[in-house]
Structure 1
């Protein structure tokens, strides 16, 4: 738990630093991003909805999650083990993505930052708390939070592919700026919120020895990592 508090503190600090770094340049970076060549904007418009909670829970994103779970379940030798692993993986993904969705929409409602489309009228730092309208729900980015949660969960479960998943999350996050839906600081906050949620549930699951175990430094690692190390020692 102490490790989780320290890690959460670092994520929170990183969020503040990134938001403060990007905010002075939000307007100019957003304007330049939207002014990129049409093909670039078109490509990002095509991929940006891969960061929606709806896509992850009800569409092809769910298929990807199920395929990932199936691959992990297949490695179990017993029927009970397959059921247990499948259930825990599904629960980990569901709790991570759903909790990230609740948190980001709550923050959107409480903060009420105007989106880039209202820049000429209100500027980049207009806040209207409790507005409950799409135009005033820029911070944090919901798409970035969703893809951060999904890729964060995949990264926690597959350490060797962490750079790939985190790069994918970053690409989807940047697309939100290019299509004019968010400022860079919105994206930075959203990505970190999503990754933090995945990390938090990894700590919780590790406490119950579900999917994860704590290593010598108190960090949650997938059980498969420990199994592989044991096998290497036997050989």
Structure 2
């Protein structure tokens, strides 16, 4: 393939991917899924909102008083683990995967191209499932303006400076928790067998944020709530357009069967063949 032909093919494939994502919803059961999803989200939101209030009133100040002082040298392993929940790193990694898929697609044809498009759609879903709640979280952080633990010198969970848009007053919700729980929910939606592993990862990130005195417990729960709801909302968007997911008659959203590992290896050989 000539360089000009490759470039044109690449642009056309990227355009087609965006068109599929933005097209009008076509799944006949999307309204059933929307109602089912709304009920579940309202229930989960109500329960966790009550938990957040209880944590603010009864737990936050006590919990952060138990944590080791900020900057304790022995906490360096937690700082390394903590970075695995940083939105910048997670989103750049997912973006790199999407770019890799886009670069390889024009080298493939037929069944191999179809498999790679399926892989790209799933990576695109995970990227957006993390990006959407992360962006929403940044807006909420600045608007709410909750002080981080010990900002102002005291373990005061009610230290607020609304619309301050400063790092010191960006505690609620936890950005790392949003990222980790959104990633866990998105990957679990595609690969249910990984659910336990992914949520162990997310909980570990949440615990790190508490021990490092970056957040109150209620911040982490709020971040988890926003991350999960955001990932599920993006999942509905994809399912309504028959992308990566399907909708059962009862409104349950399930992942479409993905390619086998043998098929993926075959596609990789085709993509890197001279």
Work out which structure has the larger RCO, using CA pairs closer than 8 Å and 6 or more positions apart in sequence: 2
Alpha-carbon distance in 1 for matches of 2:85, 2:75:
16
* Change over 3 Å in CA distance of 1:119–1:214 after alignment to 2: farther
Give the secondary-structure state (helix, strand or coil) at the position aligned to 1:221. Answer: strand
Select which of 230, 243, 247 maps to 1:210: 243
Q: Is the 8 A contact 2:248 2:254 kept in 1?
A: yes
Q: Which moved more, 1:10-19 or 1:117-126?
A: 117-126
Q: Does 1:50 align with 2:56?
A: no
Select which of 55, 66, 84 maps to 1:32: 66
Larger-gyration structure (1/2):
2
Select which of 145, 161, 165 maps to 1:132: 165
Select which of 221, 227, 230 maps to 1:194: 227
Structure 1 or 2: more helix by fraction: 1
> Which residue pairs with 1:108 in the alignment?
141
The gaps in structure 1 that reach 5 residues or longer are: 228-235
Q: Is the 8 A contact 2:171 2:219 kept in 1?
A: yes
* Number of aligned residue pairs: 216
Give the secondary-structure state (helix, strand or coil) at the position aligned to 1:213. Answer: strand
Q: Is the 8 A contact 1:152 1:195 kept in 2?
A: yes
> Which residue pairs with 1:224 in the alignment?
257
> Which residue pairs with 1:231 in the alignment?
none
Q: How is 1:11-26 mapped onto 2 (pairs within 5 angstroms)?
A: 11-23=44-56, 24-26=58-60
Alpha-carbon distance in 2 for matches of 1:87, 1:4:
25
> Which residue pairs with 1:183 in the alignment?
216
Aligned-pair Cα RMSD in Å = 2.6
TM-score calculated relative to the size of structure 2 = 0.71
Tell me by how many angstroms 1:15 deviates.
2.5
